[in-house]
Amino acid sequence: MGRTTGIIIAAAAAIVILAGVLLFMLGRGSEKEVNELDKELSDMELPSTDGAAPAPAPAGGTSLSGRSLVVVSWGGAYTKSQIEAYHKPFEASTGAKINSVDYNGGIAEIKAQVESNNVTWDVVDMELADAQRACDEGLLEKIDAGTLPPSPDGVAAVQDFIPNGITPCAVTTILFSHIVAYDETKFPGAKPSKLADFFDVKNFPGKRGLRKTSPKINLELALRADGVAGDKVYETLATKEGVERAFKKLDTIKDHVIWWEPGSQPPQLLADGQVTMTTAYNGRIFDAQVKEGKPFKIIWDGQLQELDVLAVVKGTKNLDAAMQFIAFATDTPRLADQAKWIAYGPARKSSLPLVGSYHDKPDIDMKAHMPNAPENAANAIQIDFLWWADHQEELNQRWAAWLAK
């Protein structure tokens, strides 16, 4: 043992003894507390014998050279944004290799892997409602929020993420939005500007596009357009009268509706002139505006926001690496970088000010296209995934009956 190291260890031992004595003298010490303090000091990294500080960990955390992770997502432009913002920097900083796999959502494949004890996926991008259901069924690993990095100015992750951004088994990366969009060439005079205009076929004539696959979104939008405050939407929907009110509002435009299912349809309906206004995912309309030069405009008023999360499959053999990837991918700069590639808002409050221009069009300020930018989010609400978990089945039946009328 080197002389320097011996002195340090002796000093640490003296501190333990002194701390224990002081605790007991103050009348609030215990053998348990002293033992815990002893453990904390024993776990402290000591300087090397030459007095140098321990070498810092790599930028991405522990080196993962030679390791590989399977990260599952939705494909297309969305996965591309993750590869550029998360995967490539993580590989560069840790030496790990990320294998990207596409899927169609849901929890069936995760459940099959876990129940067969043949887990081949490590990290999965999921809708929040699916992640919550998978967590409840024991299909996902729990995530310690304390392992997530703070913001650059030291704000803890639990305070830096948007509401519901961290749940027991998932960490949010982005929020996307259900909005109303219109073709401005169809309205040479007054332009629609608020959600209520979507239901006003007299002053803003033309067909309307609505999603057919679920009552979710349609019922909320109907109530918001009918004057229900954002913080009262689910309280209202929880009553029979509130549900009837939503359907009555939808009745006013039902004869003008063209139904859509996949997210690619709304911009196509606008482009083909089949509708003058439609509900849509904000990212799809952004792509049509920027990549195709379409004359489409978004009405942010009354938008409904949803969250997309990262989760770890229960039983993965790469648990440590998967957790390290999630901590890395959800830090402040990574979430800001993703917004360079796609018009979805970062889930950290500290990321939004760092959002820059579109990756290959420096004249496009992506902040203006973020659903959670202050000027866009003034009248937004977040979809209550827990409420829908309790009411989806009954309202699906009511929705199917209404469609069949």
* Segment 184-239, tens digit of pLDDT: 999 999 999 999 999 999 999 999 999 998 999 999 999 999 999 999 999 999 99
Closest CA to 123 of 143, 138, 137: 143
The larger pLDDT score, comparing residue 200 to residue 28, is at 200
* Segment 114-171, tens digit of pLDDT: 999 999 999 999 999 899 989 999 999 999 999 999 999 999 999 999 999 999 999 9
Instruction: Please state the pTM of the whole predicted model.
Output: 0.78
Tokens 């992770």, located at residue: 69
pLDDT for residue 178 is more than 90: yes
pLDDT for residue 30 is more than 70: no
Average pLDDT, integer, range 294-307:
97
| Residue type present at position 342 | I
8 A C-beta contact, residue 277 and residue 182: yes
Confidence category of residue 385, pLDDT binned at 50, 70, 90: confident
The answer for residues whose C-beta is within 8 angstroms of residue 81's C-beta and 6 or more apart is 338, 340, 341, 342, 344
Question: Residue 305: what pLDDT?
Answer: 96
Closest CA to 185 of 290, 296, 272: 296
Confidence category of residue 85, pLDDT binned at 50, 70, 90: very high
Question: Residue 179: what pLDDT?
Answer: 97
**In the chain, what are the domains?**
3-43 (no CATH), 68-175+307-369 (3.40.190.10), 178-305+384-404 (3.40.190.10)
Question: Residue 29: what pLDDT?
Answer: 39
Secondary structure letter of residue 186 according to DSSP: G
* Segment 316-362, tens digit of pLDDT: 999 999 999 999 999 999 999 999 999 999 999 999 999 999 999 99
8 A C-beta contact, residue 164 and residue 382: yes
Q: In whole angstroms, what is the distance from residue 163 CA to residue 297 CA?
A: 28
* Segment 104-127, tens digit of pLDDT: 888 999 999 999 999 999 999 999
Question: Residue 63: what pLDDT?
Answer: 87
* Segment 253-272, tens digit of pLDDT: 999 999 999 888 999 999 99
Question: Residue 139: what pLDDT?
Answer: 98
